[in-house]
Amino acid sequence: MPEPEAVLRELGSEAMRAMEQASGGSSVCSFTKAGVSVPGLKYAEGRWAALRELRSQGVESASAATAAGAAAATLADLWRGHLADVQQTGASRDWVAYRSGGIDALTEFEDRVRYPH
């Protein structure tokens, strides 16, 4: 069974690379300040942010993959609630992409640590 810390590190690195690729090296804020919609970049940023939030909960040091997966599932439910809120309020595509990216990252983490192939 994969170690939660290794999976978290790998997924976080992938999200960071996706952000760098989508931004062309520019800061995420520069797009937002310019009023440019960048859902692909925001999706990658959401993945990265959700994984950082999971790490801040101490998941990388969880003793069991099952516990780490359960923590990811709980956090994904919270992010689903935030996604529903931004959809209901008519927020921009960037916010929908951001929250969707976070949910996808947390779900992927859970799947990889709880149900390895």
**Segment 93-111, tens digit of pLDDT:** 999 999 999 999 999 999 9
Residue 51 tokens, joined: 């994984």
Query: Other C-beta atoms within 10 Å of 107: how many?
Result: 16
| Confidence (pTM) | 0.89
Provide the residue range defining the domain that includes 45: 4-114
AA identity, residue 86: V
Q: What's the residue count for the chain?
A: 117
DSSP state string for 4-23: HHHHHHHHHHHHHHHHHHHH
User: According to the model, what pLDDT value does residue 114 have?
Assistant: 84
CA dihedral 27, 31, 34, 39 (to 10 degrees): -170
Count of domains forming the chain:
1
**Segment 28-64, tens digit of pLDDT:** 777 777 777 788 999 999 999 999 999 998 876 656 7
Q: Distance between alpha carbon 91 and the CA centroid of its chain, in Å?
A: 18
